[in-house]
Amino acid sequence: NEGSSMTGCKNSADITVTNASEECGIAGVAGSCDTLKNCTNSGKISISGKITQGGFYAAGVANSIDKATACRNSGAVTVSATGSGQQIEACTAAGVAGEVNTAVSCSNTGKVSMNATVEAVAPHRVGGVFGSVTKSASKCYNKGAVSFSGKSHRGLYVGGLGAYLQKVSQSYNKGAVTVKLSDA
């Protein structure tokens, strides 16, 4: 989808993939000019395997989106990645969206977890609601547990609301956040 708007989309199916790069409940890459409104996911989203190039990106609703409004996730989101190589990007796991420019009234109650021993060129991102917010998020919350275990060769961003956030207002986290780093 490029330049479109999706409203009221729902996924309740469990989605499990091996050695694939991207998996989401509603849309993998919706695009930088797209909006999602009232979209929900309750299915389990899971990616696992060995990476030789690229990265693994899992989110309950969408990986990359311009604007998300009132989107919700209650399904578990899990990334389990191994591998090494020069072309490996960081992995992302997020309840609602891997990357969003602007978000309003989005929430997550599902568990978000990553186990990675990947020698990535950038920091991994694990967030209860978002992997990253490039502009702003308001009136969003997370109640799901967020966890990372494994190695982090280039850093790590982990957070209850989001892994990397530019501007946040009227938002909160009630989910436990756990990081267990192995020797690098």
List the pLDDT tens digit at each of the 184 positions of the chain: 556 788 899 999 999 998 877 778 777 665 555 889 999 999 999 999 988 778 889 999 998 889 999 999 999 999 999 887 666 778 999 999 999 999 999 999 999 999 998 878 888 999 999 999 999 999 999 999 999 999 877 889 999 999 999 999 999 999 999 999 887 5
18: how many CB neighbours lie within 10 A of its CB?
Answer: 10
Output the CA torsion sign for 29, 50, 129, 24. positive
22-48 b/e (C-beta count within 10 Å ≥ 16 → b): bbbbbbbbbeeebbbbebbbbbbbbbb
Q: What is the signed CA dihedral for 154, 149, 135, 1, rounded to 10 degrees?
A: 100
Contact 42, 12 (CB under 8 A): yes
- pTM for the structure as a whole: 0.92
Degrees, nearest 5: CA angle 119-122-128:
100
